[in-house]
């Protein structure tokens, strides 16, 4: 049985933990129980809007596992345990589990996930949809419980096969090196390599990696996206793939109150002491806000 598991809104501004770190723990536990993780944990960006009470990024974390021989209720029990032990005290967590063989209306779930990237959705709608599409468990664990909105949306987006980036950078041991598309596929388990316009690159095309690879989910495949830079192709970074990358230009100097986010997965410039890596930034549709109130103008 193929089971989708997604969590959202498990952290708070203290960033004593992160949704990504908790997702990693759940993924590890599922594998310890005998489940087989497919491809990895993916991060799905949801709508940035002033009417949505998110911490900094409004993204959910989803994984897919083949749990043949493992009971769904056992997975749920273990996921709940990890979530409750690690979630921030003032967070609003949600957990969604969806069994693919029992899901009756996948198109509705995918459509909901896409809407959550464009519209403000109420918690009641998430529960209603989960009850109607079959094979779906949706629960909240404290606070306002609005994490159920993103948890359900993350499953829909992962199910679409054309959304999200894989948690964790890969191939840092190859930093500063170039290999052909064919070689990258073999070395890193990459299934396709595309340019920034979505065109497949030939197997003999060389791709240069500056620091590490950041892979995306496209067409249900683990995908490396490369951009033309001068006379060569360079693997896209997290900054390139993030939907707000066009706004990253004036956020390059951190104020005296800078404090780095404790989850590197939520930073966008690796080692830069810049606002977009700061614990106190909160992404918005127009850039970010400084929730500490200490930035020079509070916006980007």
* CATH 3.30.70.2200 domain range(s) in the chain: 2-166
Average pLDDT over residues 188-213: 92
Percent of the chain with pLDDT over 70: 80
pLDDT at 259: 77
pLDDT 10s digits, 266-295: 776 555 666 667 777 766 665 566 777 654
Task: Tell which CATH architecture fits domain 2-166.
Answer: 2-Layer Sandwich (3.30)
Residue 252's pLDDT band, with cuts at 50, 70 and 90, is very low
For residues 296 and 257, the answer to whether their CB atoms sit within 8 Å is no
What's the predicted TM-score (pTM) here? 0.79
Task: List residues bridging with 3 in a β-sheet.
Answer: 65, 99
Residue 19's pLDDT band, with cuts at 50, 70 and 90, is confident
| Mean per-residue pLDDT over the chain, rounded | 84
């Amino acid at each position: 049985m193929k089971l989708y598991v997604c969590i959202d809104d498990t952290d708070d501004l203290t960033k004593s933990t992160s949704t990504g770190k908790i997702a990693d723990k759940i993924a590890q536990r599922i594998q310890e129980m005998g489940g087989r993780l497919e491809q990895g944990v993916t991060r799905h960006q949801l709508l940035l809007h002033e009417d949505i009470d998110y911490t900094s990024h409004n993204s959910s974390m989803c994984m897919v596992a083949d749990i043949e021989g493992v009971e769904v209720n056992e997975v749920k029990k273990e996921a709940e345990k990890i979530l409750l032990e690690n979630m921030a005290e003032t967070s609003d967590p949600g957990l969604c589990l969806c069994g693919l063989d029992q899901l009756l209306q996948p198109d509705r779930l995918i459509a909901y996930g896409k809407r959550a990237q464009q519209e403000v959705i109420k918690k009641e709608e998430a529960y209603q949809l989960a009850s109607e599409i079959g094979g779906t468990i949706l629960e909240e664990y404290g606070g306002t419980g609005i994490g159920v909105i993103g948890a359900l949306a993350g499953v829909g987006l992962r199910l679409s096969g054309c959304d999200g980036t894989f948690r964790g950078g890969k191939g840092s041991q190859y930093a500063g090196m170039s290999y052909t598309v064919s070689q990258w596929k073999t070395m890193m388990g990459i299934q396709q390599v595309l340019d920034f316009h979505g065109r497949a690159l030939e197997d003999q095309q060389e791709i240069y990696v500056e620091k590490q690879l950041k892979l995306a989910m496209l067409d249900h495949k683990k995908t490396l996206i490369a951009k033309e830079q001068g006379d060569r192709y360079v693997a896209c970074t997290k900054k390139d793939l993030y939907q707000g990358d066009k706004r990253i230009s004036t956020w390059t100097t951190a104020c005296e109150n800078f404090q780095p986010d404790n989850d590197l997965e939520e930073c966008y410039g690796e080692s830069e002491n810049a606002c977009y890596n700061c614990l106190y930034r909160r992404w918005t549709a127009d850039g970010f806000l400084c929730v500490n109130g200490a930035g020079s103008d509070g916006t980007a």
